[in-house]
């Protein structure tokens, strides 16, 4: 349990498995990632339960309604085929949750930005280390470009580098599932051998079209999380130094 003085708001919360923090976000960026894949905007806000539910719901309802295939055929200009593959019975259910994800991500970001400003002005205290029987988590500075590179090599690894075990492990397992059911890695292998015809026949586009949204989101989120974690480390260190070493009557030079 985090032992901190009773302040009205918290800027950050350290658990054994992740670091949740408030920081300023662009509501339109969150809305965009919610638009690209419902649930991703909520992961950016560290609202993991809502985010995981929306991501799993998107996987289920998109598969039942064949939305990805409808998008694919529409982009290819084959609108008749797109209308054939779409299942209207499931598509109606898809629309409401999809719009809610975008709206809620945008709305909540504005509210959380206000909470951050108030907590920052209050100079709310933060723990710098959390230890437990399963793992330990601590604030320190890490390289954003390394988080980006590990995420580019495989989604989830960058978050594990930042000790965001909750989202990192979920995205890692989720990506493995997408690659398996979409036959993505085998299609890449065939493409590298020059067998493009067999690669096109092998890949399952309904599953494969999930991957681009996952890939670019996780790279962006890992990089931004590294930057914000570094800022959090600096703020915690600055607060500690002010409290313990700065004299009240010391006159700083202008």
Domain assignments of the chain as residue spans, ordered by start: 12-245
CB-based contact 229:19 (threshold 8 Å):
yes
- How confident is the model at residue 157, as a pLDDT? 92
Relative to beta strand 19-21, strand 129-131 is unpaired
Contact 104, 53 (CB under 8 A): no
Q: State residue 42's pLDDT score.
A: 94
pLDDT at site 246: 67
Q: Which helix (H) or strand (E) holds 230?
A: helix 211-245
pLDDT for 2: 52
> What residues pair up with 20 in beta bridges, in sequence order?
13
Written as six digits, the tokens of 142 are: 């890490």
In this prediction, residue 241 carries a pLDDT of 82
pTM of the predicted protein model:
0.85
- What's the pLDDT at 248? 67
114 and 9 in contact (C-beta within 8 Å)? no
Beta strands in the chain (DSSP E): 12-14, 19-21, 129-131, 136-138
Angle at 147 between CA 42 and CA 44, to 5 degrees: 10
Residue 128: what pLDDT? 84
Given a cut of 70, the residues of the chain with pLDDT beneath it are: 1-7, 246-248, 250, 252-254
Within 10 angstroms of residue 164's Cβ, the number of other Cβ atoms is 28
Q: How far is CA 190 from CA 155, 205, 229, in A?
A: 22, 16, 40
Which residues touch 153 (CB under 8 Å, ≥6 apart)? none
Supply the mean pLDDT for the chain.
Answer: 88
Predicted local confidence at residue 93, as pLDDT: 85
* Separation between Cα atoms, residue 209 and residue 185, nearest integer Å: 13
**Distance linking the first and last C-alpha atoms of the chain:** 42
Closest to 108 in 3D by CA, of 173, 54, 161: 54
- Residue 98's Cα: distance from chain center in Å? 17
């Amino acid at each position: 349990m985090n032992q901190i003085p009773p302040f009205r708001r918290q800027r950050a919360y350290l658990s054994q498995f992740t670091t949740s923090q408030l920081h300023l976000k662009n509501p339109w960026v969150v809305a965009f990632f919610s638009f690209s894949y419902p649930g991703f905007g909520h992961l950016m806000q560290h609202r993991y339960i809502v985010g995981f539910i929306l991501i799993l719901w998107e996987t289920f309802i998109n598969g039942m309604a064949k939305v990805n295939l409808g998008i694919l055929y529409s982009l290819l200009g084959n609108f008749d085929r797109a209308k054939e593959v779409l299942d209207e019975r499931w598509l109606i259910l898809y629309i409401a949750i999809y719009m809610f994800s975008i709206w809620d991500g945008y709305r909540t970001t504005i509210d959380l930005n206000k909470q951050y400003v108030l907590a920052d002005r209050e100079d709310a205290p933060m723990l710098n280390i959390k230890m437990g029987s399963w793992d330990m988590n601590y604030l320190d500075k890490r390289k954003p470009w390394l988080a980006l590179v590990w995420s580019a090599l495989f989604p989830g690894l960058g978050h594990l580098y930042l000790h965001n075990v909750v989202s990192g492990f979920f995205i890692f397992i989720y990506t493995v599932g997408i690659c398996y059911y979409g036959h993505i890695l085998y299609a890449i292998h065939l493409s590298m051998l020059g067998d493009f015809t067999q690669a096109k026949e092998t890949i399952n586009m309904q599953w494969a079209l999930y991957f681009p949204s996952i890939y670019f989101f996780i790279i962006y989120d890992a990089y931004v999380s590294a930057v914000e974690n570094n800022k959090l480390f600096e703020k915690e260190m600055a607060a500690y130094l002010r409290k313990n070493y700065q004299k009240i009557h010391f006159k700083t030079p202008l």
